[in-house]
Amino acid sequence: MDDLLSEFLTETAESLDVIDNELVRFEADPGDRATLNNIFRLVHTIKGTCGFLGLPRLEALAHAGETLLGRYRDGTLFPTEQTVSLVLDSIDRIKSILSHLEGAGAEPNGHDRDLIDLLEAAAEGKLKSNSPPAPSAAPVAVPANPAKKPAPANLGPGERWDEDLGRVLRPGEVSLAELEAAFNAVDAEEIKAEPAAAPAPVVSAAPTAPPAIVEPPRVEPTRPIMLEDDADDGARAKGEGPQTNATLRVPVDVLEDMMTLVSELVLTRNQLLQMVRSSNDSQFKAPLQRLSAITGELQDGVMKTRMQPIGNAWKKIPRIVRDAARDLGKKIDLVMEGEATELDRQVLELIKDPLTHMIRNSCDHGLERPDVRVGAGKPETGTIRLVAYHEGGHIIVQLSDDGAGLNTKRIREKGLEKGLIAAADADTMSDAEIHRLIFAPGFSTAAQVTNMSGRGVGMDVVKTNIDAIGGVIELDSRAGQGTVFTIKIPLTLAIVSALILGASGMRFALPQLAVVELVRVSGQGANKIEHIHNTRVLRLRDKLLPLVDLSVMLGLTSAARPGRAQFVVVMQVGANRFGMVVDEVFDTEEIVVKPVASVLRGLSMYQGATILGDGSVIMIVDPNGVSRTMSSATMAAMRANVAETVQQQTASDAISLLVFKAGGEEPRAVPLSLVTRLEELDVATLEPTRRGRVVQYRGQLMPVIHPAGEYAFRSEGRQPILVFTYEGRTIGLAVDAIVDIIHEPLKVQLADSTPGVMGTAVLRGKATEVIELGYHLEMATDSWSFGAAAAQRSVLLVEANPFFRNMMTPLLQAAGYRVTGVDNAKAASAQMEAGGQFDVVLADIDDAAMRAELAETLRNSPAGDSIARLGLTKTDARDPAFGDAVRKTDRAGLLAALDYLVKTQEKAA
């Protein structure tokens, strides 16, 4: 059967049950407006849905019933037992038509003129109890094919019943005969079973009548008021209720209560297990093990009752896509995979609407019109894929389209226009960050509001809904290729796997969904928390991870406590990756999330509370809440930096700079990528020698210089030191104070002739001297003469921009290359002609003219073919003449590519 129809049947059956009961109540208390309104609303809904589904018979009947109810409602007609019975009769007629619909998939033939006439007459107030419309006329008029089989035997009981009542036939009773006649007429093969569907009206017409006098066959006279049950029995007797047989409808509350009880049971079991584990008394062990196993099975069983295939939430999607395609003049293929993936019905309910909204978005904004697609060289028909699968304890739902991708430019403009981003940030934000703006509240880019979407309630609502169930939503969009939304949601909300953490002597639970990894940090050693101004960071696999301290965030301590071994929980919330510092990590535990009292609900740091196995109550930390609190300016900068390095995003000239003060109040800067470590050392340990200061650092002697000269060292206390690694040696650059890390495009505006200063740039609105690191390092190495490194590979660096040249030279040197830097192709050519032997040419390929000139030089050079080439770019450009290309700010990528080239060369040789 059509899904839509079967859904309609289920819903309508429920509504009808309610109407039955409400009508009975209404009859007893006609002044009850609320009940009447409820009935009216339900009948109205049925009418509307029937019209929508093309069920004219039901619609007409419901319409007539609605009209009569309408008269009750506006007070022009007072409900009488007679008229209410009439409504009940029409409800029963609707039910019998529905049961036919359920069996045959279509309305039975025939019409309901008789009932409709009566309803209309009643509505006009013309129905009189002492002059009823001739009941005998109806059965004759109604059957679609009266010649076939009128079932005269069934007319008898109806009439006799009325006689027993001692009053004239009421209009309601007409329906019995008519109904059976109609049914018998259309379903000739089911004549014998048919009457069972009808008795209900008879009984309902006289709920107060003594039941014993009712004599129609197969009626349960002892259950006069159980209207729907009788109807159901009838349907079952006929074998026409396939949907009611195999399954049992259980109120959701019952399941919820069961779930709660099982959760309690699980907790109690955990408690018992813990007690027995710590005692040596083995007497309880065997039964407890059994209890444990049974509890586990029970939990699984109850969970299963709540599980539903995600396909249930997708049922309406094909229709939505079809309608959208028609309305928008697009051709759309919908591919759905993994419909059978099961998840908790509570979760299912909560993602239904967001999914529908996203599908509409994809149809409307994602896919292009056929002509546009053809123009772009894509097939005319766009594809929307909806995929669901299990991964760990989560469900992944992926919605992708092969449309145009998000319009980055438009989103950026919109973000600026709506004040979601600052103008200064707009240029430095990566595409992924720009894309995420669509999740910002009130953001909608649709140039014009269409029927489908773009009413301003957009992806922010989707994100809020998904956040609410502890899920995460991510998006990946490529221009011209399409957009992929990935939603990761927990299987169930009832039980989640959580990490139990300790902070300031208290325990907290953190849902594992957000946890990426755990890192143990200590005062010394490789994993060490470093400080930049007031911000703490962790250097994790060459990336800086911004840190928050759980204790500080919760106000348990005012400042970070250094020197202790701690743990960093690396968390990922949306695009935001950060570390949360905690004192201890205990274990993982399956916990039951319980809501907290309303007085605590405003605390965004918590998701709820739970009872642990040992019976204690602990708070559940909300990863989204933690992520939100990390929004200070420094954090934003760090985040940009992290996002940039983590996601390797496209074009952005911004680089991270460490801003510090050294020998004066004016800020100075150095590219962060060159800094290996930040230290703070006691000045007393910086031992002065004839050639400058040295310190014993990690088992080596490290020379330390101050950019402003020897006199600028502090006389006592601790001195912040930037540690650089240079040709396998470490060198310290002492500074007065570390100010900040900023992420901005760097434009050196004033070249400077002062040695050691590359120039002046405006950073954060302040003129900042950019240090020429190479100079200082050379000073240090010259004075300490490390000695020539053996058998170095040599690199010719052709880079017009002095900043990048200066940035890369020490970097390459540190990695063991001999570097010759030139600023144009002519100089490169001159170097080669002068007999320079180079293994690799590293060239800026953003400048087309220089690129061409350099390629020419290499072609003409006798050694040109043996020289490996690598392009450097700011914009992901590629040039075949230079093979591979690496982004200028991608330090790790550059070294890896060079290493690869050199190794290939060695093999070839």
Partner 1 sequence: MSAAVSQDLREYVTLVVGDYLFGAEVSRVRDVFDPQNITPVPLAPKVVAGLLNLRGRIVTAIEARERLGMPGRPGEAPRMAVGVERNDEYFSLIVDGVGEVLKLDPATIEANPSNLDTTWKDLSTGVYQLDGKLLIALDLERMLDCAPVH
The residue behind tokens 């930390």 is: 621
Are the beta carbons of 733 and 702 closer than 8 angstroms?
Answer: no
Question: 603, 737, 830, 896: which one contacts partner 1 (CB under 8 A)?
Answer: 603
Q: Is 615 near partner 1 (CB under 8 A)?
A: yes
Of residues 598 and 785, the one with the C-beta less far from partner 1: 598
Find the angle CA(856)-CA(859)-CA(864) to the nearest 5 degrees.
Answer: 125
Select from 181-189, 240-248, 604-612, 737-745 the region that touches partner 1 (CB under 8 A).
604-612
Q: Is 600 near partner 1 (CB under 8 A)?
A: yes
Q: Is 618 near partner 1 (CB under 8 A)?
A: yes
Q: Is 253 near partner 1 (CB under 8 A)?
A: no
Q: How far is the CB of 529 from partner 1 (least distance, A)?
A: 22
* Cα separations in angstroms, 501 against 275, 512, 536, 584: 22, 11, 20, 6
Tokens representing 868?
A: 């490996």
The residue behind tokens 């059957």 is: 143
Angle at which helix 81-104 crosses helix 113-123, to 10 degrees, equals: 150
DSSP string across 70-87: HHHHTTSS---HHHHHHH
Of residues 608 and 720, the one with the C-beta less far from partner 1: 608
Q: Which of residues 259-278 bind partner 1 (CB under 8 A)?
A: 264, 267-268
Q: Is 554 near partner 1 (CB under 8 A)?
A: yes
Question: 616, 715, 753, 785: which one contacts partner 1 (CB under 8 A)?
Answer: 616
Select from 59-67, 200-208, 399-407, 553-561 the region that touches partner 1 (CB under 8 A).
553-561
Are the beta carbons of 890 and 865 closer than 8 angstroms?
Answer: no
Of residues 75 and 555, the one with the C-beta less far from partner 1: 555
Question: 16, 321, 609, 640: which one contacts partner 1 (CB under 8 A)?
Answer: 609
Strand ranges across the sheet with 793-798: 817-822, 793-798, 840-844, 868-873, 885-887
The four Cα atoms 847, 852, 854, 858 give a dihedral, to 10 degrees, of: 150
* Residues 421-460, mask of contacts with partner 1 (x by CB under 8 A): ----------------------------------------
Residue type, 863: A
Q: How far is the CB of 262 from partner 1 (least distance, A)?
A: 12
Burial class for 382, CB neighbours closer than 10 Å (0-12, 13-18, 19+): buried
Q: How far is the CB of 606 from partner 1 (least distance, A)?
A: 8
Q: Is 580 near partner 1 (CB under 8 A)?
A: no
Strand 332-337 versus strand 382-391 pairing type: parallel
Question: 141, 540, 596, 712: which one contacts partner 1 (CB under 8 A)?
Answer: 596
Instruction: Identify the helix (H) or strand (E) that includes residue 729.
Output: strand 729-734
Q: How far is the CB of 558 from partner 1 (least distance, A)?
A: 13
Are the beta carbons of 818 and 845 closer than 8 angstroms?
Answer: no
Of residues 511 and 671, the one with the C-beta less far from partner 1: 511
Q: Is 40 near partner 1 (CB under 8 A)?
A: no
Q: How far is the CB of 627 from partner 1 (least distance, A)?
A: 16
Q: Is 555 near partner 1 (CB under 8 A)?
A: yes
* Cα separations in angstroms, 705 against 694, 711, 731, 736: 9, 10, 8, 12
R_g (Cα) of the chain, nearest Å: 39
Q: Is 247 near partner 1 (CB under 8 A)?
A: no
Contacts 24+ apart (CB under 8 A), 416-422: 418/442, 418/443
Strand 667-671 versus strand 495-503 pairing type: unpaired
Q: Is 559 near partner 1 (CB under 8 A)?
A: no
* Residues 732-771, mask of contacts with partner 1 (x by CB under 8 A): ----------------------------------------
Tokens representing 662?
A: 């050294």
Question: 617, 767, 830, 863: which one contacts partner 1 (CB under 8 A)?
Answer: 617
Q: Is 606 near partner 1 (CB under 8 A)?
A: yes
Are the beta carbons of 793 and 812 closer than 8 angstroms?
Answer: no
Q: How far is the CB of 890 from partner 1 (least distance, A)?
A: 41
Total of residues contacting partner 1 (CB under 8 A):
26
The residue behind tokens 């009773």 is: 173
Backbone angles phi, psi at 474, to 5 degrees: -130, 160
Of residues 67 and 268, the one with the C-beta less far from partner 1: 268
Select from 312-320, 452-460, 615-623, 698-706 the region that touches partner 1 (CB under 8 A).
615-623
Q: How far is the CB of 267 from partner 1 (least distance, A)?
A: 7
Q: Which residues bind partner 1 (CB under 8 A)?
A: 264, 267-268, 506, 554-556, 594, 596-603, 605-606, 609-611, 615-619
